[in-house]
Structure 1
Amino acid sequence: MFLLPRTRRQKSEGAIYHVMIRSITEVPLFEKHEDKIRYLNKMREYQKQYGFKVYAYCLMTNHGHFIIDSNGADISKIMQGQNLSYAINFNKINKRRGPLFQDRFKSKIVDTQ
């Protein structure tokens, strides 16, 4: 069996990204309003640490969308830390184990022209 490598993520210093996250099928990421607040508060902490900007976001029950200006920061480090931290906290609160996110986050560079 051969495993194909992942497609390399497009990155550009100072780029603006459309970032998408999705939960595994049977688990709602943001079932309660408190879940959304917890995710956004954690994102504020990462904003202070990495200096990126969030221009817009939309959080639904099983997924979320963000428009993020990386401001020179590594989008992979931002989202990996954000989602790992949220998953650990979510699992602890909900007394569950295992993955919370379907896959690594998706991102596309937004054309600002």
Structure 2
Amino acid sequence: MARKAREKSTTGIYHIMLRGIDKRDIFLDDEDREKFLDYLAKAKEKATCLIYGYCLMDNHVHLLIEEGHEHIGESIKRVAVGYVYWHNEKYSRTGHLFQNRYKSEVVEDDTYFITVLRYIHQNPIKAGLVQDISHYKWSSYIHYIEGSEDLINLDIAMNFFISQDKFIEFMRTPSSEQCLEENIKVRYSDKQLKEIILKLYPKQDLISNLTKEKRDEFIRRIKQYTNASNRQISRVLGIGRGIVERVDK
């Protein structure tokens, strides 16, 4: 069956996600992340594309990008191919690193633009890596705070707010938006889900000792990050399915 053609953005702006094949980590240390950003900067210069946001997670990358004089697919390919070649050389491996096809969605209006940017910046919080987006060094949020335009084009996002304080307030406001990942159906085995849960909450075996509020917030984080079913979450956590079902994302 032929693949569905990608939707063309009338603004030229896209939310892109690159994910490791079989959910494997694509970054094993900070040098890897720095090298990926180097390839992203080279692609920006070569293709004259504009980059508005990014977040590098262990096994996937989010980008908010406007295509330049070449098709967006060529720019993403330029980054991915360069990084995979370098990564394979460093770790003496061969074969694919990313899933064959990157995920994308069009960004057609101002409201969704700023929604996607917040979603990208809040990814590390939803993954349980940090409590505050300012504590995560591998996203474009730090560029906006420091006013650094070496990689990120800041003007569009900042023009939505009367001050930097208002921008910070919006970016830090808790949000349950799913954006691109809402349409991605990733199924985890019970073993894989338990490993993810242990990263989010290392003392998972003590969940019965949590207050109802803290327990529900923990379950909510699992739902937001994994999209696992209520049945699977209740099975892996060893708690009643009704408890899980009552917790909204």
Q: CA deviation at 1:13?
A: 6.1
Say if 1:22 and 1:103, in contact at 8 Å, map to a contact too.
no
Residue number in structure 1 paired with 2:15 = 18
Secondary structure of the structure 1 residue equivalent to 2:21 = coil
Q: What percentage of aligned pairs have identical amino acids? A: 32
Residue identity matched to 2:16: V
Write the deviation string for residues 40-63 of structure 1: whole angstroms up to 9, x where unpaired. 111111111110111011110000
Q: Distance in 2 between matches of 1:26 and 1:18?
A: 19
Aligned residue-pair number: 110
Gaps of 5+ in 1: none
Q: Distance in 1 between matches of 2:10 and 2:27?
A: 30
C-alpha change, 1:71 and 1:35, in structure 2 (3 Å) is same
Secondary structure of the structure 2 residue equivalent to 1:25 = helix
Counterparts of residues 5-84 of structure 1 (less than 5 Å): 5-12=2-9, 14-25=11-22, 27-84=24-81
TM-score normalised by L of structure 1: 0.89
TM-score normalised by L of structure 2: 0.42
Task: Kindly indicate which of the two structures has a greater share of residues assigned to strand.
Answer: 1
Write the deviation string for residues 87-106 of structure 1: whole angstroms up to 9, x where unpaired. 11111110001110122111
Say if 2:14 and 2:65, in contact at 8 Å, map to a contact too.
yes
Secondary structure of the structure 2 residue equivalent to 1:11 = coil
Residue in structure 1 matching 2:99, options 89, 97, 102: 102
C-alpha change, 1:52 and 1:13, in structure 2 (3 Å) is farther
Task: Kindly indicate which of the two structures has a greater share of residues assigned to helix.
Answer: 2
Gaps of 5+ in 2: 111-249
Residue identity matched to 2:60: H
Q: Distance in 2 between matches of 1:55 and 1:66?
A: 8
Question: Which of 1 and 2 has greater Rg?
Answer: 2
Say if 1:13 and 1:73, in contact at 8 Å, map to a contact too.
no
RMSD: 1.5
Residue identity matched to 2:82: S
Residue identity matched to 1:42: Y
Say if 1:20 and 1:106, in contact at 8 Å, map to a contact too.
yes
Residue number in structure 1 paired with 2:128 = none
Which contiguous aligned blocks of 4+ residues in structure 1 show a shift greater than 3 angstroms? none
Say if 1:53 and 1:69, in contact at 8 Å, map to a contact too.
yes
